[in-house]
Amino acid sequence: MANIKDINYAILSRLTKNARTSDRQLAREIGVSQPTITRRRARLEKEGFLTYKTVPNFKKLGLEIMAFTLVAWKREAHQQLLDAEDYDSRIQGFFKKHPNIVFASSGQGVGMTRIAISVHKNYSDYVKFINSVDETWGTYLDRHDSFIVSFKSDTILKQLAFENIIEYLHTIDAE
């Protein structure tokens, strides 16, 4: 019999590939009873390990570009921005103005401290986005750079998919 952690990974992996898989089908694929799957799935949902979201096919939706924009703040100017009373509302307002930002976070690498991942219908849309970054945050920025990925490329080696994360986590635990 598989251990609980293996069952959880198997459930997460299969549901990440297809969130509409039934408990009966999961039980058949994993080799445990349907009540076991139902209990484990409910617990994963309750504990927040499992939520249901759709990852659309960006290209079919008419989006051409995904941009990874890296930012380096001017140290003193950034601290002034952080200390400003309206900082949170300014950030939230920027995200509201740009719903095409699908991820934003602090981080570190290549001299940069922030990243934003955004999707764009075309290059012109991307340029408008970068201009908005400059207009809104330019006085606080030391520099920014982007890496642009075209969804129309015929050399995409691996599609953006989240099921690979579960497979990776499973390999870590096996070590």
What's the confidence (pLDDT) of residue 109? 92
Q: Which helix (DSSP H) or strand (DSSP E) does residue 93 occupy?
A: helix 87-97
pLDDT over 60 at 2, yes or no: no
What's the confidence (pLDDT) of residue 172? 65
What's the confidence (pLDDT) of residue 143? 93
What's the confidence (pLDDT) of residue 4? 56
Using DSSP's 3-state secondary structure scheme, residue 106 falls into strand
Per the DSSP assignment, residues forming a β-bridge with 168 are none
4-53+161-174, CATH topology level: Arc Repressor Mutant, subunit A (1.10.10)
Name the phi and psi angles at 106, rounded to 5. Answer: -80, 160
Amino acid identity, residue 158?
K
Using DSSP's 3-state secondary structure scheme, residue 132 falls into helix
Which is it for strands 112-120 and 101-109: parallel, antiparallel or unpaired?
A: antiparallel
14-63: pLDDT as tens digits: 888 888 999 999 999 999 999 999 999 999 999 988 888 777 778 888 89
Top-confidence residue, 154 or 164: 154
Which is it for strands 65-73 and 141-150: parallel, antiparallel or unpaired?
A: antiparallel
For the chain, the structural domain boundaries read: 4-53+161-174, 65-150
pLDDT over 70 at 173, yes or no: no
pLDDT over 50 at 123, yes or no: yes
Using DSSP's 3-state secondary structure scheme, residue 125 falls into helix
Asked if 4-53+161-174 and 65-150 have one fold, the answer is no
Question: Measured on CA atoms in the order 16, 17, 22, 24, is the torsion positive or negative?
Answer: negative
Q: Which of 147, 133, 174 is nearest to 66 (CA)?
A: 147
Q: Which pLDDT band, with edges at 50, 70 and 90, does 118 fall under?
A: very high
Rounded percentage of the chain residues whose pLDDT exceeds 90: 52
89-110: pLDDT as tens digits: 888 999 999 999 999 999 999 9
CA–CA distance, 173 with 171 (Å, rounded to integer)? 5
Q: Is residue 8 a contact partner of residue 45, using CB atoms and an 8 Å limit?
A: no
Question: Measured on CA atoms in the order 94, 153, 19, 170, is the torsion positive or negative?
Answer: negative
Tell me the whole-structure pTM to 2 decimals. 0.72
CATH architecture of 65-150: 2-Layer Sandwich (3.30)
Using DSSP's 3-state secondary structure scheme, residue 161 falls into coil
